[in-house]
A and B are shown apart, each in its own frame.
Chain A
């Protein structure tokens, strides 16, 4: 039991160190991935996207913020970490896709200002779960007092959904 824990921690550290996700977010990302897929072991694999395709994507994708999640030799899904603007600052957010390219989880990792932090609400973010490139996000509920951040997060998710669809069509994922 103890050995298992140690190995898990070591593996997580090694894989996350190589992931390129900023240090202050690593732990949070790790926790969400494990929780979503109910796994203890996994690895992040870089997804190679040609410069030509990258230039056509609505979201900024690179080797530092977008990974395939593998566990026991199987593709579990994908993880994307980025920043989006709130009123006067940026917030870090995470989107995890399952292997059907549907959103399995969204989370606001760090929110930095007074206004709009309500978008971190689990209940609100749950609206994105299950969405894929085929779905519109027009039905995402507004939050009084957080209009700008709601719009920003919704647009960010819209963009990554479109991006995933393009990557799928181009057979990158």
Chain B
């Protein structure tokens, strides 16, 4: 039933119908999970994964249902607070065989905006090789691929994972992925359609403060005229440590009516380095991203925007679990420092805006009351390089689930 509703909701572009379909889907998903929950055997292995909902069909194939979500409370100093069901995402997968799977995420943002975050087919053609096609995540840094709220500390994602890597960054494409177990590494390589920089009427979609974020096409009637390439290699051969190297090259796209005009599109190369480490109760992660853009002067002239020619940022985070390791619960005390600048470079007459050179110090707690459920609280000291800026520090609380 859920699958049917999902398909009809994809075909029809009318918001109300989609909302209704999803609501019905939700209800059926909930009733599904309740019935399966009752019959879960108290086996030590299955218990570990009690949140999983694999419903085996008669022919042995399997539907996967899951969800993640986060509800947040942001309280800037001196201003009104904000309460938001930031996102609720339904995971729906189907295993056609050991080799062929479909995976999708349907996201409801701020209660009323609906997106498809991922929808792709994975075909395992050989031991170390999968072919993939559909709407997929661009592998860049940590959070864009691992964005479920129980997998990162802090109520808010790192700022650079919004303004430089426009999380959740996803586009339609095809590519390869796989693992080489003997070398402890995994790889991904895709061809995607790129960001859209300019509308037919000359409106620019990308700019200074949030970089490329406004240019994501998200699989919504995306325009494409030049392919973009994305790749990532992860190495996890040192115990407890995992490192990633990501790259992205291409050009933005512009509507047909304007794509011959100089400045309608810009060139983009992005490189990322990331690392995550776990040792007993201690964990740490860090990330560095640098993006270089070409033809930004022409783009800014055409659109009146203030797009920088270089974006860069890094963060480092350390956390310590205050509870003994043998407990199922985890209470991580963490601190993260981050610096990112969406005007790390500017071309032509554009003067770098110091307020785009931002830093954030975030300190707080992540209390995992069960695997898959987290309560978060943190305080953020926010600043930027502009003298006399009045950025408010912020207190955040949130709950997150993933199953």
Contact = CB atoms under 8 A, between A and B. Distances in A.
Interface of A: 24, 58, 84-90, 108, 110, 112-114, 117-118, 120-124, 127, 138, 141-145, 147-148, 151-152, 155-156, 159
B54 A89 contact: yes
Interface size class of B (residues with CB under 8 A): 35 or more
Interface string B90-102: 0101010010010
B45 A152 contact: yes
Nearest to B185: A121
Interface of B: 44-46, 48-49, 52-54, 62, 64, 66, 91, 93, 95, 98, 101, 103, 122, 146, 151, 179, 181-182, 184, 186, 236-240, 242, 276-279, 283, 285, 325-326, 371
Contacts of B277: 144
Q: Which 8 pairs, one residue from A and one from B, show the smallest C-beta to C-beta distance?
A: A144-B276, A141-B239, A142-B278, A121-B184, A85-B49, A88-B64, A120-B181, A141-B240
Contacts, number: 95
Contact of B95 (A84, A112, A152, A155): A112
Contact of A24 (B62, B98, B122): B98
19 contacts: A24-B98, A84-B45, A88-B64, A89-B54, A108-B181, A117-B186, A118-B179, A121-B181, A121-B237, A122-B181, A138-B326, A141-B279, A143-B242, A143-B278, A144-B276, A145-B242, A151-B371, A155-B45, A159-B45
Nearest to B118: A114
A150 to B, nearest CB: 10
A110 B126 CA distance: 11
A141 B49 contact: no
Contact of B48 (A24, A120, A155): A155
B66 A88 contact: yes
Contact of B239 (A110, A123, A148, A156): A123
A118 B103 CA distance: 19
Given A118-B186, A152-B45, A159-B45, A141 B52 contact: no
Contact of B98 (A112, A117, A122): A112
Contacts of B54: 88-90
A40 B396 CA distance: 63
A144 B277 CA distance: 7
A129 to B, nearest CB: 13
Contacts of B52: 85, 87-88
Nearest to B284: A144
Contacts of A84: 45
A121 B62 CA distance: 26
Of residues A88, A118, A127, A141, which shows the largest number of chain B Cβ atoms within 10 Å of its Cβ? A88
A159 to B, nearest CB: 7
A152 B239 contact: no
